[in-house]
A = this chain, B = another copy of it.
Amino acid sequence: MAAPHRPYQPGHATSQTLHHAWRTAPNSAPHLLRHLSSLSPSPRLLDVGAGPGTLATSLASHLAPLHGHVTATDISDSVLARAAAHAKEQGVENISFRTASVYELPFKDGEFDVVHAHQVLCHLDGPVEAIREMLRVTKPGGLLALREADMKMWGFWPESEVLERFSALMARVMVANGGEDRAGRRLVEWVLQAGVERGAVEAGFGTWCFAEEGDRRVWGIAMVERLREGQVRGKGIELGLVTEEGVEEMVKAWEEWMGREEAVLGIVNGEVVVRKPDVRA
């Protein structure tokens, strides 16, 4: 049995999941889409920690022409119910949902052609153990595709000392919750620690760019929500990392940033794709 782990700390309030819903396979899983043509017919994909399910649903649409199926898991029943409603709304049918812990996936060894997790390991206190469990349910010759943020690689323009403080606060809250703010750059290390050979790992970085007005607003409003209602405020104040006034200053800085047409925010995510060996050692 696995050792007890901290539950998922950020929670699933709208303030937390608003910008998660912006995620689609093309903007958040390009490292995996590149490999779709190499999959066997009718591929089975497991999306671990699917949250509000927009990325899982988008992956399912991409698998539909291949007669593939997506199983989406999350530790939270309520967020999975929202994910199921989203898939239905989108008319996507080749997807099913199951509540599960990443540490104890209720699936047989080698059950999936592809196992995928996006921004999941950064929240865990046992990322290597989680990777081992995901590899267990990956079929020999199949793929494990991981993508994690690297909060030390954000780039804001215009320069803003307040926004720099905000991103440092986000990172500190993540670490205080038992997560890792530089998960993106640690993925190679973690998969090696989980027993993968270096030659089976393809590593890269993918970015999100919030620069056009609509994208600036999606991100900015989500960050304001996190400051006003979410974890960043609650935990940040509880831990003495920020004051009420500091929070209001950050809200103002985001609002100003959103309104500037030269504004840019670059966010960097580490990506790995692991090909599980076909013959076990």
Q: Kindly list chain B residues whose C-beta atoms are within 8 Å of the C-beta of A192.
A: 261-262
A85 within 8 Å of B (CB atoms)? no
Chain A: residues with Cβ within 8 Å of the partner, total of 33
A185 within 8 Å of B (CB atoms)? yes
Q: Which of B150, B157, B203 contacts A182 (CB 8 A)?
A: B157
A152 within 8 Å of B (CB atoms)? yes
Q: Kindly list chain B residues whose C-beta atoms are within 8 Å of the C-beta of A154.
A: 153
CA distance A211 to B203 in the complex (A): 7
Q: Which of B157, B185, B187, B189 contacts A156 (CB 8 A)?
A: B185
Q: Is the CB of A212 within 8 A of B203?
A: yes
Interface string of A236-265 (1 = CB under 8 A from B): 000000000000000000000000011110
Q: Is the CB of B270 within 8 A of A268?
A: no
Q: Is the CB of B155 within 8 A of A182?
A: yes
Q: Is the CB of A262 within 8 A of B188?
A: yes
Q: Kindly list chain B residues whose C-beta atoms are within 8 Å of the C-beta of A266.
A: 150, 153, 184-185, 205, 268, 270
CA distance A128 to B186 in the complex (A): 38
Q: Given A189-B262, A211-B188, A262-B188, check contact A268 B157 (CB 8 Å).
A: no
CA distance A122 to B7 in the complex (A): 45
Q: How many copies does the complex hold?
A: 2
Q: Is the interface of A mostly helix, strand, loop or mixed?
A: mixed
Q: Kindly list chain B residues whose C-beta atoms are within 8 Å of the C-beta of A78.
A: none
Interchain nearest-CB distance for A76 vs B (Å): 30
Q: Is the CB of A207 within 8 A of B207?
A: yes
A234 within 8 Å of B (CB atoms)? no
Q: Given A184-B266, A203-B209, A266-B270, check contact A198 B261 (CB 8 Å).
A: yes
Q: Kindly list chain B residues whose C-beta atoms are within 8 Å of the C-beta of A203.
A: 209, 211-212, 264
CA distance A209 to B201 in the complex (A): 13
> What are 26 pairs between A and B in contact, CB < 8 Å?
A150-B155, A150-B266, A153-B266, A155-B182, A155-B205, A155-B270, A157-B182, A157-B185, A157-B188, A158-B189, A184-B266, A185-B266, A188-B262, A188-B264, A189-B264, A192-B261, A203-B209, A203-B264, A204-B211, A205-B207, A205-B266, A206-B207, A207-B207, A207-B268, A266-B268, A266-B270
Q: Which 10 A-B pairs have the closest CB atoms?
A: A205-B207, A189-B262, A203-B211, A157-B185, A205-B266, A204-B209, A198-B261, A155-B185, A153-B155, A185-B264
- A residues near B (Cβ < 8 Å) are 150, 152-158, 182, 184-189, 192, 198, 203-207, 209, 211-213, 261-264, 266, 268, 270
